Structure 1
Amino acid sequence: MSNRYRHIRLKEQISINKIYSFHYNELNKDYVYLGEQHNFWEFLYVDKGEVEITTDFSTFHLKQGDMVFYTPNEFHSLRCNRKTPPNIFIISFDCQSSAMRFFSHKMLRLGNDERLLLSQLIEEGNKLFVMPIVGPHAHPPKKPKHPLTRKEKPEFGAEQMIKIYLEALLIRLIRNNREQTPKPKLSSITKEKGDRELVRRIVDYLEAHMSDHPPLDRLCAEFALSKTQLRAIFREHTGCGITEYVGRLRIERAKQHIREETSNVTEIAEQLGYSSIHYFSRQFKKATGMTPSEYLKTMKAQM
């Protein structure tokens, strides 16, 4: 009976079944990583700030939104710019697919769609792995200080979703950077309302006015949206409400100021619009599990 039905066996042009590392790092502005090499692929994505990467073949200056790939057995080192403490995301993995040659010695800039896939990949990683905030060591020990470890009860399908998102990200990067097709521009604000670009603009505005605590009415006027529309589109694309998102932004900005060591805790609390240093410390510990001073000690220990 089954012979009556014609089928097509699906091909896999990129297939990944082994992951060696998966971590999000918040680095000190003076951080230097002397380097390593290993017999599997790795990419590094800059989520915030800037880093300088040196490999066997070139030196790359990466800014927010940039990604660099290391081929198997390619030496690579990292240096921060001593000005801005960067946040980076690193995955190393095994892939024998011939299509991976496209990424050899290459730096790429991610678009909105690729960044979305990357954020989904990180989200699934948080569901599967125990991922402390760590920085690589200047002299890596023989055994990793924080080996990749599954959670005791990971969410159903998390491993497969990581495989899917990682393969999809690599496929999209190859497609987009081969074709180089110009993307059509949005013609009006009406089209933007249903797009991630609008949310990006709202986030940029919130970052620029973080200490002002912009009320919802001002945001509605700024982006020509009703309160219902604003709340709905923001939650759809960020997974949380505006107040919660601003709270996260303030903590991330606080962590950056602490790593820069240009302001003390009282000054940071004032700059970010907290009503008191005590309230700031409570919110910081609630979000990170550490007081501001404990966080600074942790960052210094990485150097």
Structure 2
Amino acid sequence: MIQSHIRVKEILACFYQHRKLNYLFSSSSHSYFEFTYVDAGNLYTVVDDKEYILHSSQCMVYYPNQKHSQFTNAFSGCSCLTILFEMEMNIPESLKNKIILASQQIRLEMKRFIKEIQFDSWMHTEMSLVIFQRILIQALLEQRNSKKESRELVTDDELEPILLYIENHMDKDISVEELCRIFSVSRSSLQSMFRNDLNLTPKQYIADVKMKRAKLLLQEHGYTISEIAYQLGYHSLYYFSRKFKAYFGISPSEYTKSLPQ
């Protein structure tokens, strides 16, 4: 007999937000599940009175009645997707108090989910529920199959300090060789860590984080394009603009003009 053990019953709300510097969502709890995915920047969260940080391409699930808050600091805002939902679960595995490094498969599923919820029909609604359920199941599978099974938020794993170093040194031209030297790992080991957890090479991840940070800084209207390029370690404005357009399909100046004032 094939029986369902996890079922997303209802999506109560879904919103994508840019959280500016020094943003604060006060501590609260509620009777439903909450899924938060950080697309760019850093989001700090306090869960059951313990403080943690979610980096770009990381997500987590808050469980019903779990006390939590979220905030950014004075140096980095963030863009994140939040989904509030009701779910039935009858499984021993848990996503509670776990950091989920979103694999390429999870990120692709999230893009499909966002596409489906744009349409107002019962078929698209059903599809969005199915896709979001797949996201959660895939997250559980990756937790189970990872080398460090069911990694908790408080775990200081091998990749986490490397990601934090990259986030904190956006103004540098970070190389793979530099990361290997600082963290005493071989190039092949470093490549494997990024491939296994993020399905990206270190170089691709660095470029990904820098471009998302550039978009955040442009949204804040606090810096010129030249200043942003310099802050992200690009010493050529032309090269920065070319990279930005290749990543987002629009130049930094065109993107700035499209933003609300």
Q: Give TM-score, length-normalised by structure 1.
A: 0.54
Write the distance in 1 (CA, Å) between the matches of 2:207 and 2:120.
30
Amino acid at match of 1:285: K
Q: How many residue pairs are counted as aligned between the two chains?
A: 226
Select which of 163, 167, 177 maps to 2:133: 163
Identity rate, percent: 23
Select which of 236, 258, 261 maps to 2:196: 236
Correspondence 1:87 to 2:79? yes
Are residues 70 and 265 of structure 1, via their aligned partners in 2, closer, same or farther at CA, if it must alter by over 3 Å? Answer: farther
Q: Is the 8 A contact 1:46 1:63 kept in 2?
A: no
Amino acid at match of 1:43: E
Correspondence 1:203 to 2:174? no
Amino acid at match of 2:101: L
Correspondence 1:126 to 2:111? yes
Q: Is the 8 A contact 1:42 1:69 kept in 2?
A: yes
Write the distance in 1 (CA, Å) between the matches of 2:73 and 2:192.
40
Write the distance in 2 (CA, Å) between the matches of 1:273 and 1:123.
29
Select which of 26, 35, 50 maps to 2:18: 26
Write the distance in 1 (CA, Å) between the matches of 2:84 and 2:217.
29
The alignment's C-alpha RMSD in Å is 4.9
**For each residue in 1:250-303, what CA deviation from the matched residue of structure 2 results, as whole angstroms up to 9, or x when unmatched?**
1122122222322211111122121322221221122122322333344426xx
Write the distance in 2 (CA, Å) between the matches of 1:98 and 1:67.
14
**Equivalent runs, 1:1-303 vs 2, <5 Å:** 10=3, 12=5, 14-19=6-11, 22=14, 24-27=16-19, 43=34, 45=36, 47=38, 48-49=41-42, 64-65=53-54, 85-95=77-87, 97=88, 110-112=97-99, 115-116=100-101, 121-130=106-115, 147-148=118-119, 160=130, 162-166=132-136, 197-300=157-260
Q: Is the 8 A contact 1:46 1:86 kept in 2?
A: no
Write the distance in 2 (CA, Å) between the matches of 1:210 and 1:293.
21
- The CA deviation at 1:23 is 5.1
- The CA deviation at 1:247 is 1.0
Which structure: greater strand fraction?
A: 2
Q: Give TM-score, length-normalised by structure 2.
A: 0.61
Are residues 299 and 16 of structure 1, via their aligned partners in 2, closer, same or farther at CA, if it must alter by over 3 Å? Answer: same
Contiguous gaps of at least 5 residues in structure 2: 24-30, 46-50, 55-59, 122-126, 141-151
Task: Report SS of the residue matched to 2:17.
Answer: strand
Write the distance in 1 (CA, Å) between the matches of 2:234 and 2:260.
25
Are residues 277 and 247 of structure 1, via their aligned partners in 2, closer, same or farther at CA, if it must alter by over 3 Å? Answer: same
Amino acid at match of 1:126: K
Write the distance in 1 (CA, Å) between the matches of 2:258 and 2:44.
20
- The CA deviation at 1:121 is 4.4
Are residues 289 and 20 of structure 1, via their aligned partners in 2, closer, same or farther at CA, if it must alter by over 3 Å? Answer: farther
Write the distance in 2 (CA, Å) between the matches of 1:241 and 1:257.
24
Higher radius of gyration, 1 or 2: 1
Amino acid at match of 1:111: K
Contiguous gaps of at least 5 residues in structure 1: 1-7, 32-39, 53-61, 72-78, 100-107, 132-145, 151-156, 171-181, 187-196
